[in-house]
Amino acid sequence: MGLAPSNSAEALVVGGGAVHPGDGDVIEAQVDSELCAMVDQVIGNPLVMIASDGFTGHPRNAGTYGRVFAQYVRERRSLTLMDAMRKMSYMPAQRLERCTPDARKKGRLQTGADADIVVFDPETFRDQSTFEKPDVPSTGVRYLMVNGTLVIDGGQLVSGVAPGRALVGFSGKDR
């Protein structure tokens, strides 16, 4: 791709297999080995955050965080547990604060913040989703609260609850 790993996190947005100049906040990992090698090189950079767009029908919708934890925390040890948690929660929330004030209530445990909490087993947290079965949830999640409501209880999905809500950003004229 022609870029030094030290500059990649600051100069790239990688999406759909193409490289574009941008904010350097997002790297979309795909199966392409060259792209995976780049992710391996930059994932530890303190400027790199990890998030998913939740694209329906793609394995990243259900598997992004389990995959990152299994591969980069547990197996490769490229990230510490705390670095991974910060990159997957606090950093994306900070980035979105520019677009929506509701993001100030995300990615942190503090008074007044939304109660979005995941409790997982660090030995078994892993993605299971594939392109053939993109909605298979990650293993190892014991409890998940969204806005203070249990969505996963004892490793089982709670039926009939959908407490999540979209973070709505400013329009161009609102800024």
The pLDDT tens digits for 127-145 are 999 989 998 999 999 999 9
DSSP letter assigned to residue 27: B
pLDDT at 93 over 60: yes
Mean confidence (pLDDT) of the chain:
81
> For residue 110, what are the CA distances in angstroms to 26, 39, 86, 149?
26, 31, 15, 17
Residue 8 is predicted with a pLDDT of 36
| pLDDT-based confidence at residue 2 (cuts at 50, 70, 90) | very low
**CB contact burial 43-53 (16+ within 10 A = b; e otherwise):** bbbeebbbbbe
For 173, the token pair is 């004229």
With bands split at pLDDT 50, 70 and 90, how would you rate the model's confidence at 165?
A: confident
- Which pLDDT band, with edges at 50, 70 and 90, does 52 fall under? confident
Locate all alpha helices (DSSP H) within 30-162, ordered by sequence.
33-42, 60-68, 81-85, 91-96
Q: How far is CA 49 from the centre of its chain?
A: 8
pLDDT at 33 over 90: no
Instruction: Supply the pLDDT for residue 35.
Output: 77
pLDDT higher than threshold 80 for residue 10: no
Provide the pLDDT confidence category of residue 175 given band limits of 50, 70 and 90: low
